[in-house]
Chain A
Amino acid sequence: MTKVLLVEDDYWLAEMEAGVLQKAGYEVEIAPHALAAIELVDTFMPDVIILDVLLAGSTGFAFLNELQSHGDTKEIPVVLCTNLAEQFNDTQLGAYGVRRVVDKSTMHPSDLVVAVKAVLG
């Protein structure tokens, strides 16, 4: 089963998004902050990561830098799910290993499933 690591610090949103992904057949783990996410990358070994940029304790970019600094994690595709979608462009995000951006403020919950399918090819 494809494993999705959902890094989202809003409890309700994470719960809802995880429900949609599980219904679509994915195994999901939720990390409420970057420290937990780093730990889960090692133990859960996700096939794809869905990441909120603004996280408690550390920003999502610090987490992305951490992923990029290790050979075994830098290839994990990342979907950015953010309220700040309009602030980023593909060039900037590509350098962080981000394959797709989903605008949290306009998305439908099922858009996450579409994004995961797209980055996994």
Chain B
Amino acid sequence: MNGGDGRYEVTPLIAAAHELKAPLALVRQLALRLEDEHLSEAERARLLRQTVLTSERALRLTSDLTRSARLEDALFTVEPINPEQLCRDIVSELAPLFEVYGRRVEVKTRKHPLLLVANRDLLRRILLGFSDNALHYSTPGSAVSMQINALKNSGTIRIGVRDYGPALSSDMWRKLQKKLRTAPQSIHARPESSGLGLYIASQFAEAMNGRIGAVRHKDGATFYVELQASSQMSLL
């Protein structure tokens, strides 16, 4: 921290350390709780499940960081992908985590399927990151929804992850917009995190000639990724 305004600049390394600290601290607290000899079997099982799921979240972040650091020298394939199917796979993967947090995650079904061009692994990581963010920001009992839309003018497809939670103030929103375009910054500048997750997502999107963005709603936000539609769409 410098000065008295509560701000300090962070490098990606510090941002990564900060982002990992929260789940590690939670795993430690869960483990300490497990030392209680008076816990019921059901309570013990629940704490163990929470420990596993929290560890998995931390591990996802570490693998994203590794992938992000090696984007330039890595060769990856892009292929036509059905985004709705990918979203369904992600929902299946995340449903247990959302359930124990008292939230739901769902995919808005489309009448006509769409295809986009992407690397499956990178797109999956972007959407997992957005979903994880939405889980944290959404109100208990609410549903996070994944929505797929074709933007005909630009020939792109947008996959959005919509959460329902506290509204961001205009000031916070401006800072968030800035963060969507730049590297991790002052931790104090953004609610909850250093923006490392968004930075990684933007790196992944750019590697596929796409981009990420966000839309503010009065009751939450949508984070989205836009990628080129596949020419095979005309065959559908």
A and B together in one complex: yes
Interface of B is mostly: helix
Which residues of A sit under 8 angstroms from B191, Cβ to Cβ?
54-59
Q: Tell whether, in the assembled complex, residue A59 and residue B166 are in contact, meaning their CB atoms are under 8 Å apart.
A: no
Given A61-B6, A88-B1: A54 and B192 interface contact (C-beta under 8 Å)? yes
Number of interface residues of A (CB under 8 A): 28
Residues of A in contact with B (beta carbons under 8 Å apart):
9-13, 16, 32-36, 54-59, 61, 83-84, 87-88, 92, 95, 104-105, 108-109
Q: Which of B156-195 contact A (CB under 8 A)?
A: 165-169, 172, 187-188, 191-193
The answer to whether A13 touches B29 (Cβ under 8 A) is yes
Contact call A57/B165, Cβ cutoff below 8 A? yes
- Return chain B residues, CB-CB under 8 Å to A108: 32
Contacts of B169 in A (CB 8 A): 57-58
Give the B interface residue count (CB, 8 A): 35
Contacts of A32 in B (CB 8 A): 139-140
In the bound assembly, the distance between CA atoms of A92 and B6 in angstroms comes to 8
- Taking the closest CB of chain A, its distance from the CB of B13, in whole angstroms, is 15
From known contacts A9-B136, A83-B18, A92-B6, infer whether A56 and B165 are also in contact, taking CB-CB under 8 Å: yes
Decide: B137 and A57 in contact? CB cutoff 8 A: yes
Are A56 and B140 in contact, CB atoms less than 8 angstroms apart?
A: no
B124 to chain A, nearest CB (A): 24
